[in-house]
Amino acid sequence: MRIGTIAQLWRYPVKSMGGERRTAVRLTRRGIPGDRGWAVYDETRNGITGAKRLPALRGCLAHYPSEPAADAASPPAEISLPDGSRFRTDAHDAAHRLSAAFGRPLLLHQLGPVGSATGPRITSADESPETVRAVMGLVPGEPEPDMADLSGDRLAALREGNFFDAYPIHLLTRTTLRTLARVAPESIWDERRFRPNLFVDAVVTEGYPELEWLNRRIRVGGAVIAAVIGCPRCVMVTQPVDELPQDHRVMRTLVRETHHTAGLYADVVEEGDVREGDVVELLS
């Protein structure tokens, strides 16, 4: 059953930094080749970090001068800092320049070939409840999201050999953003806040259609993905990006309207090529 078309395709060469829109990608079991192919390592806290704890990462952009290959180590990416200066991730002074820009000792970690370890991540295990709530973008009185499917050993297993938050593919529909814009018109509901890989023009024009696709298989172009869980949001969706301002009301709306969720996470079960304009089908 046809449920939409691919409106946009995105990959993000460096975790939490701005990405690059593509007209065509290949979906593999490791996701889109090169997606989150690099990550920032905080030497002070000894772990991979992101914009939840280092918000200024959202002001950086990254792209690949050469195309990544599936299952191979990520090629060097070029980073553009907020001041407009640029450097490659394999430059001899890359760590120095990144650390100077952020005022703390940072490294860049490369995703190796398939099967490679990726090292420790910063988690909420040693953080105060107040810090955890701030990272999730919550204010006093708001409930925490249901993270039962993304906790403990399960989440650790999902993160082996990658820099994803959880699953390799994030799908979001334009319908969801239009619905949120109708209930909260004071905010700008732009897909760049949410960082999808697959941005879909759904046939359904009301509500949150991707949440109806959970636990189903979906054909996207020449690939098939399995929709696993709704994507729980955090403070990142409130942060400024490009010309979009910081807006904490975004999280207030998501907590109230969708139980913190926007979009879905998916696994790739059949690898294949996807192009903008390809049909999206729900499989029986």
pLDDT of residue 132: 92
* Residues 161-174 as b or e (16 or more Cβ within 10 Å = b): ebbbbbbbbbbbbb
Cα-to-chain-centroid distance, residue 269: 19
Render pLDDT for 252-281 as a digit per residue (tens, 0 to 9).
999 999 999 999 999 999 999 999 999 999
Q: The CATH number of 2-282 is which of 3.40.50.300, 2.60.40.420, 2.40.33.20, 2.60.40.10? A: 2.40.33.20
Q: Distance between CA 284 and CA 281 in Å, rounded? A: 10
Residue 77's Cβ-count burial label (10 Å; 0-12, 13-18, 19+) is buried
Q: Distance between CA 213 and CA 282 in Å, rounded? A: 8
Q: What residue spans define the domains of the chain?
A: 2-282
Render pLDDT for 78-122 as a digit per residue (tens, 0 to 9).
999 999 999 999 999 999 999 999 999 999 999 999 999 998 999
Largest interatomic CA distance in the chain: 53
pLDDT band at 138 (very low <50, low <70, confident <90, very high): very high
Model's pTM, two decimal places?
0.96
* Residues 231-246 as b or e (16 or more Cβ within 10 Å = b): bbbbbbbbbebeebee
